[in-house]
Structures are given as structure tokens and as C-alpha cells.
Chains A and B, each alone.
Chain A
Amino acid sequence: MIAPDTPLRRKSDVRFRHIPPETLVIRQAGPEVLVLNGVGGRILELLDAGTTAGAVIDALHGEFDDSDGSLEREALAFLDQLLDAGVLEVHGG
């Protein structure tokens, strides 16, 4: 389970390209391909250099509406899915 202080980065075999409004992701070890929505693509971009889940969430707060207060929960759940899918890895910990 990912927590806000979990350090994350994109796995080295993952490539992506924004094709608005979505983002195409290819996991070359498979190879497998995924399509993420705009927010998912932005999360991948934020993680490109390696950062924590919390830093990603902070950045999303500045860019997306969170009037119902669900952004953090949904972002953490989504990061968990990306981790399970082999798109992300925990690093440096």
C-alpha cells in the first residue's frame, strides 16, 4: 500500500507519449501497452524524475479541482494500480 512518503519512480522499461486527451504507455518487458486518462498521464509525468507520492499529490492539488476532497485517496489508489501493473517501482527506500 502506497503512503504519501513512499518514494516512487517510473520503471526503466516504461515509455509513454501524450496523445491528448490520453496518454499511451508501453511497458517493454512484456511488451504491454496501456492507455491512461489525462490525470494518469500527468501523474506519470510528475514521477518521471522520481519523487514521493505526496509530492505528486501536492502538485495535483495545484492543477485539478478537489472540491469533494477525494483527490488524495484516488491518487494513492491509482498509484497502487500503476505499481501493480509494473509501470512504477518504489525506490531508494
Chain B
Amino acid sequence: MTFAATYLREPDLFPARIAGEPWGPQSLVVDFAGGPYVFHGLDEAQADALRRRYAPFSRPTGARVEATVRCDAFRLAPEELRPADLRGVELTFDRDYAPAAVRMAGHDLLARLEWRSEVLSAGFWTSTPAPASFHGALENVFRALVAYRALALGGALLHSAGVLVDGSPPLGVVACGPSGAGKSTLSRLAQRHGLGLASDDLNMVLPAERGAVLAPVPFAGDREPGGWPERPLPLAAVCRLAQGTDERLEPLPRAVAAASLAACSPTVNADPFRADRLLANLDRLVHSTPAYRLTFALDGGAADLLRRATR
């Protein structure tokens, strides 16, 4: 099927460049690994809502900021969208990959990512003015931008639970698994037993002078956002999650570990122009960081297994 035909009445009119009518004159700077990420074209309510949502990563916009990533928000005329009945439908995206650009289309959401010298630029179009819905649409684009920045920095953005094990500084453990593998459950169990949490949904891992680090990103899944670590923390282990009654922590062969991580690398793992780089990054990661299969029970000792993974 033609790209975006599910979502647009005229898919051939998908924006060919990053341009359009902004929602307003407001900007927002969000600064964490891979950034600063600078958003333009927001109205006041949207900017305020996003500033609160991404605190404490939000920065004042008064000072001059050299954006590493620039994202412009534009209005999309509702009549351009194909009517959709979303009841019981899992929202997905069409993606179209090219050497220097990626296009995304989804329900009330169009995006175009372009690599221009050192800056990753994006245009984001939606018809949704209300801050809450606007944020939902924008975050889909934001996550893709962060995934590409992690890739460029030699790392990966991973669908995972990022757990912080006691220590000074705390040590990070990233636990990956497909939907339903238990990321949220593991996160709750870890917190119940006194461990910290970076995110129960998405975590960035980056290479470091020694090994790798878990770099905080402002994306949360089932839990209330907030409580992020203030800086990147040493990454002690990566785990592939499994649920079962026979709890254990077993070393994973490197290729199996890299495969597990590749399966949990959103957007980038389906990009034919950048997947080789992802595999190279993950290869390096599993050579520098121990990898395990972590099998845990709902009423068991997941926290102890996570502590053991850091030793």
C-alpha cells in the first residue's frame, strides 16, 4: 500500500520539506543525552504543558541554544486526514526510510526527519491543538529523534526497564523484552524492594570510556513521569526478560544478547539505511557489558537477581 494512504486522503501530498504553519511562536529546549532537543512552533499552552512534562530536562529558552536536534511543529488541516474508527485498534505508523530522511505517518500525525550536516531536523504536523493530545502525538516523533541520536552516539534507545541498583553511584541494569515480557512488572517489583528506576519503558545506553552508561531519557510507560536520575550512570548489565516460576540469572551468549537488544530498538531496527550501525553498536555493547537472561516470578526475588547482575 502507498505510504500514508491509511491516514491521508491524498498521500502524494505528504510534505516534501519541513515547512508549514506553526501553532505559535513559543519554543522549548529539552536537554539530555543526544541533545539539546529544541522544539519550535508551539503555542503557549502546548509549550507550558511540554515544559512541565519534560521537567527537569526543560531549559530556559531565553539563552541562545545550539540545537543538536530541531523539531518544528505545524498545523495539519483536519480535512486532509482520512476518517478513522480507532475503537479497538492498536495505533501504528507507516514509516518510509531514505538515506537522508525518514517519513512517518500515523493517526493525526505526520513527521519528516532529515539529516542536515550536524543537525537532525524534523517537521511534525498534527491537527490536534489540545496540549494533552498534542503531547501524545509529538512524543512519538520525539522518541524517534532520540533513537536516532542514540544511534549516532554509538548506543541505542531500548524498550526496556532501567533499574538502578544501590551504590554510589547507583549501577544501572537495563532489562529488555517484547511487549508483555514484564518490564512494568519488574519495575514495580524493583521499586517495592528499594531499587531505583530510570524508566519502565525506554532507556538509552551509550558507550563510555569504560563500558557503557545508562543515560536518562524523559519517557515513562505505565508510571507517572519523574524521578529521573540526574546524570548518566554506569551500566552494569543488560538482561533479556522472561517470566517463570524457576527464577534465575543466566549468562547470555553475546549474539543472543545483541539479538534481544536489536528486537527492542524501536524505529532504528527497521531502518535499512541505519540497521548495520545499530548492529555494530550492539555488538560493542555486549562486548563491554555482561548480558543475562533474567527469569523472574511475580511474587519472587527479582530485586535480588537484579542486584546479583551488578556483581
Contacts and interface: CB of A to CB of B under 8 A. Distances in A.
A62 interface: no
B272 A24 contact: no
B258 interface: yes
Contacts of A15: 272, 275-276, 279
Q: Is the interface of B mostly helix, strand, loop or mixed?
A: helix
A77 interface: no
A17 B276 contact: yes
Contacts of B269: 26, 28, 31
A34 B272 CA distance: 17
A18 B93 CA distance: 31
* Interface SS majority for chain A: strand
B51 interface: no
Interface in B243-257: 253-256
B286 A31 contact: no
A32 interface: yes
CB-based closest 3 A-B pairs: A22-B255, A17-B279, A19-B255
Contacts of A34: 259
Q: How large is the interface on A (under 10, 10 to 19, 20 to 34, 35 or more residues)?
A: 10 to 19
A23 interface: yes
Count chain B CB atoms within 10 A of each CB in A13, A24, A29, A34 and give the residue with the most: A24
Contacts of A17: 258, 276, 279-280, 283
A13 B95 CA distance: 14
B55 interface: no
B253 A22 contact: yes
A33 interface: yes
B263 A32 contact: yes
Nearest to B287: A19
Contacts of B280: 17
Contacts of A82: none
A19 B252 CA distance: 13
Nearest to B97: A28
B262 interface: yes
Contacts of A23: 255
A29 B282 CA distance: 20
5 contacts: A19-B283, A26-B275, A28-B272, A31-B269, A31-B270
Contacts of B262: 24, 26, 31, 33
Nearest to A19: B255
